[in-house]
Structure 1
């Protein structure tokens, strides 16, 4: 069987199909928006799942292309005349397509891992489940494609099936509305977009999706291996059973993944050599880069009395909204990986010091009456000793004007104004 499998891998469309999926997947990771998955492992594997929107239809088309091989080669009657049952004859084809397509998906993840392996130290168990469900989705797609290609061995079958697969994925949310949890059952890409640093996929969600996809994969095998109408009708059973079990297991609430937070990823971890600097566990690998910048920022803030003596990552979540604890002696700074810094000269993590100083003057997220953004920027950059630099053009002009006004004042008056701005931010509830 091993020899037959290796021959099938070499002579079939398996390797070519896998290489196409791998190339498309890696291109999507690095050319669309690397910042969305550069935070950690969960963000990477969820982004992979999102890109199944392209890979799943391609796997369907690849299976359909391979499935029409016997008809295209005019060997259908020859193979039917052999004493070997069809179920045994199709095993190498099923195995070759499965092994190569799944390998392409795993290698796509490895290609992404190269960028984050040095900083992503937190690896939750749920990552394995998310990857496994994604691989199972491609497995089901390629086996269903094989079955359709065999039953409809036309030249147009593969591209038509690919387009139909893409259309199905895109319309599932609309078909199941307002029951969003149903879309989560039947679509491997639903709610996988734009994961934040603390997002996770609950275990029940992965189990339910795996049950449905396993039923779909079994149906594909039965259809591809069938030699009569009775077995083809039997292929409907795993689909129905898988759907029923998956619907039972899936939590019956909308936004299950969007509203899920991993508390372990969110909890703060402090640097061993600098207890005043703490980040969430998902960003623990960034501490060597953050600590020296935090020390520099705290030194700058120490020019004024009552300024923060600690730097913590702002681990606020917005879906659902849970603000990080605030304290007068702590500067809460949001940390985002993969983004350019405010001045566009380096990545944001490599130029974090100004953000920490600015954070000391920031009001709470839900505060409407605190100091204006230009005032906080002007105060922070007055302490830093250089002109404000950030991305909002409209705010930039006001901030520079107010910063210049602070510079024109005597040092004691400017310090008093800066202290008043910070006090206003702290008093805002």
Structure 2
């Protein structure tokens, strides 16, 4: 009797990168990079949630730590064969040195890139519910991803070249030192893939592409010069890197320009003064308007007021008053909400009076300023300071009596008389000569 023997099952062909991608240092490195971004994002979420630009800048500035970590991981992976003492055996493989290098380095680089992209997605999802306007800034994400992968590849070459167990930590520290030094060097800043992003400034549209060409081209040139059979092939990526580097160097400070919302204001003109915030935070305008509604309601019918409160850097125009600072997040604004509306209104009234730059203010004018502030937006801590003055020396007590009398007089006026007095008061707004300020 003939027994049929089934042929052995053929194992499915698997790509050689698969084993490296699912085991070993690649997944561990990706987890470490993702954990690092998680720590940075959760350390102070109140400083970036709600602002798309703040979120994008945090992710980009985190490269100062992520790039050394990626380089160190690549270096450790590059020295793996030497640590296992199979370097000579590995060199007998039919695969070319470049193929063996890329087969070992690419999985780690891909895991680092995936971890960074997951962190970007997580940060964007965390910002979305609290966003105040504007739109996500993703222009730098491709360039930053390429820089992280290039750091892994550069570290891998260093790990194969430097025969020491301490190569990985030393390379990580060296990369961190170089990037940190470039932060304070205007000459090296155009070439720094981790150059610190500044709120209000955005890179020109081609800067991330040129930076990717500079970093990846330079690292590919080093890799090909080290592992390629025909080392002349390194000239092509080197030429691309030189061209991108020349473009970055020629543009210099022009690589960063004011963002599209830098000088744009979103305004509520239904009140006097009008209330304006930077267009990046247009979603905050209703909250600011509500916080100032008590002030604008009491100023109805008063003349000589500024045209508007404005929210932008630099000196205000003569017919404008500066709005209290919204940024940096974490103080006045946390996760898209005003933290202390009453204090915000009090600060806005201080700006409205416009005497912050005056060196010396007489007691008469100081009492008038205090009375106006107490009427429009009283300070929640005023009672505490009044009690301190009441226990102070004779001068402090006399000053307190003058302030209390001025507050009582302004509060006791009829509406028409008070509007006329406030109109005369704001006519002398910002006048350090103080002759036009009416008495109380």
TM-score by length of 2: 0.74
Q: Answer yes or no: is the 8 Å Cα contact 1:140–1:214 preserved in 2.
A: yes
Whether 1:21 aligns to 2:18 is: no
1:137 and 1:404 map into 2 onto residues whose CA distance is: 63
1:93 pairs with 2:97: no
Aligned residue in 1 for 2:329: 338
1:103 counterpart = 2:114? yes
Q: Shift in Å at residue 146 of structure 1?
A: 0.8
Which sits farther off after the overlay, 289-298 or 263-272?
263-272
CA 78–266 in structure 1, closer or farther in 2 if over 3 Å, else same: same
SS at match of 1:129: coil
CA distance in 2, matches of 1:375, 1:213: 62
Residue 122 of structure 1 deviates from its aligned partner by 1.2
Q: 2:191 aligns with which of 176, 182, 186?
A: 186
Pick the aligned partner of 2:216 from 210, 214, 217.
Answer: 214
Contact between 2:294 and 2:376, CA under 8 Å: does it hold in 1? Answer: no
Asked if structure 2 preserves the Cα contact closer than 8 Å seen for 1:21 and 1:105, the reply is: yes
- Check whether the contact 1:307–1:360 (CA below 8 A) recurs between aligned residues: no
Cα-to-partner distance string for 1:162-184 (whole Å, 9 max, x where unaligned): 1111111122356xx5xx2x322
Taking the aligned partners of 1:273 and 1:425, their CA distance within structure 2 comes to 22
Structure 2 matches for 1:281-292, cutoff 5 A?
281-292=279-290
* CA distance in structure 1 between the aligned counterparts of 2:330 and 2:373, rounded to whole angstroms: 21
Report the 3-state secondary structure (helix = DSSP H, G, I; strand = E; otherwise coil) of the residue aligned with 1:203: coil
Alignment of 1:6-155 (within 5 A): 6-31=18-43, 34=45, 36-38=47-49, 40-120=51-131, 121-123=133-135, 127-155=137-165
Give the whole-Å Cα distance in 1 for the aligned partners of 2:202 and 2:355.
25
Larger radius of gyration: 2
- Structure 1 residue 158: deviation in Å? 0.3
On the 8 A contact 2:346/2:378 being kept in 1, the answer is no
> How does 1:292-311 map onto structure 2 within 5 Å?
292-302=290-300, 305-306=302-303
Instruction: Assess if the C-alpha contact under 8 Å between 2:355 and 2:430 holds in 1.
Output: no
Q: Which runs of 5+ in 2 are unaligned?
A: 1-12, 390-395, 434-440
Partner SS, residue 24 of structure 1: helix
- Total equivalences in the alignment: 399
CA distance in 2 between counterparts of 1:376 and 1:213 reads 62
Separation (CA, whole Å) in 2 of partners of 1:242 and 1:365: 53
Q: 3-state DSSP class of the match of 2:201?
A: coil
Is the deviation greater in 127-136 or in 261-270? 261-270
Aligned 8 A contact 2:134 2:279 in 1: yes
Q: Report the CA distance between 1:268 and its aligned residue.
A: 2.0
Give the 3-state SS of the residue equivalent to 1:263 in structure 2: coil
1:104 to 1:122, Cα distance in 2 relative to 1, 3 A: same
Offset at 1:427? Answer: 5.3
Name the Cα RMSD after superposition. Answer: 4.2
Where does structure 1 lack aligned partners over 5 or more consecutive residues?
A: none
Change (3 A) 1:297 1:153: farther
**Inter-partner Cα distance in structure 2 for 1:386 and 1:72:** 71
- TM superposition score normalised by structure 1: 0.76
Taking structure 1 as reference, are residues 347 and 205 closer, same or farther at Cα in structure 2, changes over 3 Å only? closer
Query: C-alpha displacement at 1:45, in angstroms?
Result: 1.9
Label 1:363 to 1:116 Cα distance change in 2 as closer, same or farther (>3 A): same
Of 409, 426, 429 in structure 2, the residue corresponding to residue 422 of structure 1 is: 426
1:351 aligns with 2:302: no
Shift of 1:148: 0.8
Cα shift at 1:161: 0.5
